[in-house]
Structure 1
Amino acid sequence: MTSFSYGEFAYVYDELMKDVPYDRWVEYAARKLQENGLSAPSILDIGCGTGEVSVRLAKAGYDVTGVDLSDDMLTVAQDKAQGEGVQLSLFQQDMSQLELPSSFDCAVIFCDSLNYLETEDQVKGTFKSVYDHLEPGGLLLFDVHSLYKVNHVFGENTFTYNEEELSYIWSCFQGEHPNSVEHDLTFFVYDERKDAYDRFDELHKQRTYSVDTYKQWLTEAGFSKVETTADFTSDSPTDKAERILFCVQK
């Protein structure tokens, strides 16, 4: 059994996430930017990972800067941007302690990246850090898992994926904190050189909070307008909504 590092994970991540609706996040961002009169904004993509959203935003004509904690993820993102013929500025930084040379019209934290922060102080720090990097009137757009999804959809469930070159077993367990989940992942990745499968193990932890708690922390960070919708619709969140989207203005 081999310990699975984020370096290795970065190179199979896109295969695992190929059915994720990245276009829906991009469409959501474009709609909110238009509604708020930001026609040609600079966008900071926080937790950009392998660049799936960043590249789409850049291809749509936005000036995009990406930030991620993983250098390996950023390497994949840079290669992807070059392959698509777009320009990205990329920085390896902690989202709760941003130190960037410019400010932005919009910041996005998509694909439930905010839920990977383990402490309340990290979430609060992220909101404050983003606020300090936004232009007046700038937007913060982000999504999080709902309490319902963490506690009832993930629950104590197991998911599987089986393809010729990559398979995994994904087991979910209640985390150590309230409203948290631990994802215990075992991957089997085919190595053509050895004509055999390597096993890797990875543990991901996610934590979420109530909508009211997020709103309180955003207000404390200085944001003045907070709008919430559910599951890529224009509807307000219900008790069984799974993904909560926030549009917040400085």
Structure 2
Amino acid sequence: MSYGDFAYIYDELMSHVPYDQWVKLVKDKQEKYSINEGNQLLDLACGTGELSIRFANEGFAVTGIDLSEDMLAVAHSKAMEHQQSIQFLQQDMSELEGLDQFDIIGIFCDSLNYLQTEEQVTQTFKSVFNYLKDGGLFIFDVHSVFKVMQVFMNQTFALNDEEISYIWHSYQGEHPNSVEHDLTFFVFDEETGSYNRYDELHFQRTFPIQVYEAWLKEIGFELLDITADFENTPPQTQSERIFFTLRKRA
């Protein structure tokens, strides 16, 4: 999907997101499971590059891929500001092409949930498998069915701040276990002294853990662990974010 104007206010809206916990999780999994010591990392659906830059700061050689040209423009600018050499490419993560293989591939911040069909999800897993080195790690997280159906569904979220305000309505999507987020943002323009309005419609869909697990095993991944909510514990009934760690068999 294309984020349009949303890309340029995304970081401010997501300032509360615990990005460092994703970095710690990846480093912990690499130390625990990786059979190679490579540092080539592919950050799929990298958005504005917030995680890509953090990984680069930790010594990873990072490539970031996103579908949104606007997101990538922000990411490139931020990487230059942080004096990090990161290759950013515009591609669909379900149709990767022309890449080298990587030691670690990640899809973070529930980005996989933006894929609408089973075919897109499974094709993404196949693309990851093809571009992962033998013994390499694949790490991703998704919203749980509980979060989509019980936390998001038919809820309204709002923020009233001096610089940015928003109204966010979530309602049932077209597919099972899917949600549509109808967002309206008001962003203060210092030059005019008024607020500009932006409207975005975002779609997310998830699947039961067992479905993801079956797809991944069929493709050939070795399942290392499934945890939840940044805790090194198995998912529970009301877990909201599910983490999968897999390895490409050598």
Q: Same fold (TM over 0.5)?
A: yes
Asked whether the equivalents of residues 184 and 204 of structure 1 are also in contact (C-alpha less than 8 Å), the reply is yes
The unaligned stretches of length 5 or more in structure 2 are: none
1:7 paired with 2:4, answer: yes
| Aligned equivalent of 1:115, options 109, 113, 116 | 113
- Secondary structure at the aligned position of 1:150 is classed as helix
Matches of residues 1-250 of structure 1 in structure 2 within 5 Å?
A: 6-37=3-34, 38-250=36-248
Q: CA deviation at 1:226?
A: 4.0
Deviations 1:85-122 (A, max 9, x none): 11101110000000133000010000000000010000
Asked whether the equivalents of residues 79 and 85 of structure 2 are also in contact (C-alpha less than 8 Å), the reply is yes
Counterpart CA distance in 1 for 2:24 and 2:43 is: 14
- Identity percentage of aligned residues: 54
Query: What is the TM-score of this pair, normalised by structure 2?
Result: 0.96
Counterpart CA distance in 1 for 2:196 and 2:110 is: 28
Q: CA deviation at 1:222?
A: 1.6
Letter paired with 2:149: N
Counterpart CA distance in 2 for 1:71 and 1:98 is: 16
Letter paired with 1:176: E
Letter paired with 2:11: D
Counterpart CA distance in 2 for 1:58 and 1:154 is: 33
Asked whether the equivalents of residues 99 and 131 of structure 2 are also in contact (C-alpha less than 8 Å), the reply is no
Letter paired with 1:32: K
Counterpart CA distance in 1 for 2:103 and 2:114 is: 24
Letter paired with 1:57: F
Q: CA deviation at 1:50?
A: 0.3
Q: CA deviation at 1:176?
A: 1.1
- Secondary structure at the aligned position of 1:97 is classed as coil
Deviations 1:149-196 (A, max 9, x none): 000011211111111111000111011111011111000111222221
Asked whether the equivalents of residues 224 and 248 of structure 1 are also in contact (C-alpha less than 8 Å), the reply is yes
Asked whether the equivalents of residues 48 and 66 of structure 1 are also in contact (C-alpha less than 8 Å), the reply is yes
Q: CA deviation at 1:39?
A: 3.6
Q: CA deviation at 1:49?
A: 0.2
- Secondary structure at the aligned position of 1:204 is classed as strand
Q: CA deviation at 1:124?
A: 0.3
Letter paired with 2:138: L
Asked whether the equivalents of residues 215 and 226 of structure 1 are also in contact (C-alpha less than 8 Å), the reply is no
Cα RMSD (Å) of the superposition? Answer: 1.1
Counterpart CA distance in 1 for 2:38 and 2:85 is: 16
Letter paired with 2:217: T
Counterpart CA distance in 2 for 1:55 and 1:207 is: 27
